[in-house]
């Protein structure tokens, strides 16, 4: 069925970066027309469903390329700690007490937060209840890449079980819901995955044609320990182990040098830049301008709410732009366009998603509407929208969300998940865990 949405200013993010007042038409989840101006009465008579955009901005839905939904209930549980202390004293001990129900409730919370702040696609790396999370993704109608996070520091039998779980998740859900859900392999990090385990991951990836997502070089200490243990830096190590033979997306890449950036560019490895999590954990600042100059595809991610502490990619874009200008003492090292692409088209490439990330004929109708009728977005015209999207829009300005043509949020009301119940589950979790 054709659906037409009119009276919007369209931020296409296509090759020409066109922005214009117009209307869009979609059918079976894909745009069939992106047109300047207003539809004629003849055109309107032909389509069964018409939506009035009421002067809002229409842009591609945002893509969050790295997160851990299941730990969302740990938001605010441990501030001001370095990564390893935080993992060992807050994250891992708490996660050991999580039931499957807790993980599902936490993931639901993350999903409604993402929908309400303009994210239409996300990647989740988590180690508990991934099949249940897959079912939740289908219900939410979001686009997602799920990966069963695997810590390889374990007896061989346990390693095999984790790999089997990843592969069965792939067989059961890869391509589900008209390809909205896809599955990748996720060894947690080189410091938690010995080389023999990473080699098994590479074999599994090759056998099943799966791509690989992993944390890499997040802290200086982790890289130093890696060099003293293996005699080489992590990027070369992963290259030698064959991890880059398949498509690979690394999260963080904070402590990587020029030579490593060169390798990532040559091997076409994508990087998920998570500036707020890196700042909060005091990990450092990734050399993003160098990566972009060298041709590395840089996407944007939030990491979990335990280290961010929110999933608002608009806020993440603003940080991503500002920190690099500040540390380089040079406002030209990032542009608003390049930052916006990190959260859209680059994200699609990083997550191996075709026809996602811009508003173009033949692309999937994954988009959001933003209400510009607020003081912090005034004055505006077509020339200023990109700047406003990076520096002034807040996630809460997003009013409507569509994925593959299906509406997930209408005037800030979520249509696919029960927001009221999800919020009350979150409060109850804290009440119950305090009692315990
Ligand atoms: Zn992470």
Domain annotation covers residue 233: yes
Domain of 369, CATH number, reads 2.30.40.10
Q: List Cα–Cα distances, 289 to 252, 323, 353, in angstroms.
A: 14, 11, 24
Same domain, 38 and 90: no
Distance 253 CA to ligand 1 centre (A): 11
In total, how many domains does the chain have? 2
The alpha carbon of 304 and the centre of ligand 1 are apart by a number of angstroms equal to: 7
Q: Looking at residue 395, what DSSP letter applies?
A: G
pLDDT of residue 83: 85
- Report pLDDT digits (tens) over 170-193: 999 999 999 999 999 999 999 999
| Structure tokens belonging to residue 87 | 């993992």
- Please give the full DSSP string across 333-384, using - where no structure is assigned: SS-HHHHHHHTTHHHHHHTT-TT-SS--TTSB--EEEE---SGGG-S--TTT
pLDDT of residue 434: 66
Query: Are both 49 and 92 inside the same structural domain?
Result: no
Residue numbers of the domain that contains 260:
62-350
308 in the same domain as 388:
no
Residue 421 has pLDDT above 60, yes or no: yes
> Mean of the pLDDT values across residues 210-226?
97
One domain for residues 83 and 153:
yes
Residues 379 and 232 in one domain: no
**Does 42 lie in the same domain as 123?**
no
Which of 431, 84, 124 has the alpha carbon at shortest distance from 305?
Answer: 124
- Cα(276) to centroid of ligand 1, in Å? 12
Query: Helices 195-208 and 234-241: crossing angle, nearest 10°?
Result: 50
Count Cβ atoms below 10 Å from residue 234 Cβ, excluding itself. 25
Model confidence pLDDT, tens digit, residues 224-281: 999 999 999 999 999 999 999 999 999 999 999 999 999 999 999 999 999 999 999 9
- 54 in Cβ contact with 7 (< 8 Å): yes
Could you tell me if 372 and 265 lie in one domain? no
CA of 171 to the centre of ligand 1 (A): 24
| The pLDDT value given to residue 435 | 59
* DSSP assigned state of 267: T
- The answer to whether position 345 is within a domain reads yes
C-alpha 252 – ligand 1 centre gap (Å):
8
Name residues with Cβ closer than 5 Å to ligand 1, which is an ion: 303
| 321 Cα to the center of ligand 1, angstroms | 21
Query: What are the DSSP calls for 284-341, one per residue?
Result: ----HHHHHHHT--EEE----TTSS----HHHHHHHHHHHHHHHHT-TTSS-HHHHHH
Q: Answer yes or no: do 227 and 249 share one domain.
A: yes
Confidence of residue 38 (pLDDT cuts 50, 70, 90): very high
SS3 label, residue 104: helix
Q: Is the pLDDT of residue 436 over 60?
A: no
């Amino acid at each position: 069925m054709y659906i037409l949405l009119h009276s919007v200013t369209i931020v296409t993010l296509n090759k020409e970066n066109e922005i214009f007042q117009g209307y869009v038409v979609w059918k079976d989840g894909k745009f069939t027309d992106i047109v300047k101006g207003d539809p004629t009465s003849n055109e309107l008579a032909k389509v069964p469903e018409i939506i009035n955009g009421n002067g809002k901005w229409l842009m591609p839905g945002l893509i969050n390329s790295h997160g851990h939904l299941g730990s969302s209930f740990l938001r605010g549980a441990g501030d001001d700690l370095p990564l390893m202390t935080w993992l060992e004293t807050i994250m891992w001990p708490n996660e050991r007490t999580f039931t499957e129900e807790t993980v599902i409730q936490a993931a639901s919370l993350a999903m409604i937060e993402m929908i309400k702040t303009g994210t239409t696609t996300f990647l989740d790396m988590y180690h508990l209840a991934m099949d249940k999370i897959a079912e939740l993704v289908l219900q939410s109608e979001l686009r997602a890449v799920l990966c069963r996070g695997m810590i390889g520091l374990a007896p061989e039998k346990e390693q095999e079980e984790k790999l089997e779980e990843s592969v069965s998740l792939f067989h059961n859900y890869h391509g589900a819901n008209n390809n909205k859900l896809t599955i990748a392999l996720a060894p947690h990090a080189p410091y938690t995955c010995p080389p023999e385990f990473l080699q098994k991951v590479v074999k599994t990836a090759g056998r099943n044609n799966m791509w690989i997502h992993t944390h890499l070089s997040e802290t200086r200490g982790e890289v130093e320990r890696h060099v003293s243990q293996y005699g080489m830096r992590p990027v070369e190590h992963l290259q030698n182990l064959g991890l880059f033979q398949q498509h690979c997306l690394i999260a963080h890449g904070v402590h990587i040098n020029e030579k490593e950036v060169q390798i990532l560019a040559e091997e076409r490895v994508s990087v998920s830049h998570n500036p707020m999590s890196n700042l909060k954990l005091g990990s450092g600042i990734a050399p993003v301008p160098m990566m972009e100059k060298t041709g590395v595809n840089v996407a944007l991610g939030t990491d979990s709410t335990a280290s961010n502490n929110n999933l608002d990619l608009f806020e993440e874009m603003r940080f991503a732009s500002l920190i690099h200008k500040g540390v380089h003492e040079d406002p030209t090292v990032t542009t608003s366009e390049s930052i916006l692409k990190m959260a859209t088209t680059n994200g699609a490439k990083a997550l191996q998603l075709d026809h996602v990330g811009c508003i173009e004929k033949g692309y999937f109708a994954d988009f959001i509407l933003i209400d510009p009728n607020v003081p912090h977005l005034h004055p505006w015209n077509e020339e200023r929208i990109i700047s406003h999207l990076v520096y002034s829009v807040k996630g809460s300005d997003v009013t409507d969300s569509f994925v593959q043509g299906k509406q997930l949020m209408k005037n800030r009301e979520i249509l696919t998940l029960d927001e009221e119940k999800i919020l009350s589950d979150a409060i109850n979790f804290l009440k119950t865990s305090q009692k315990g």
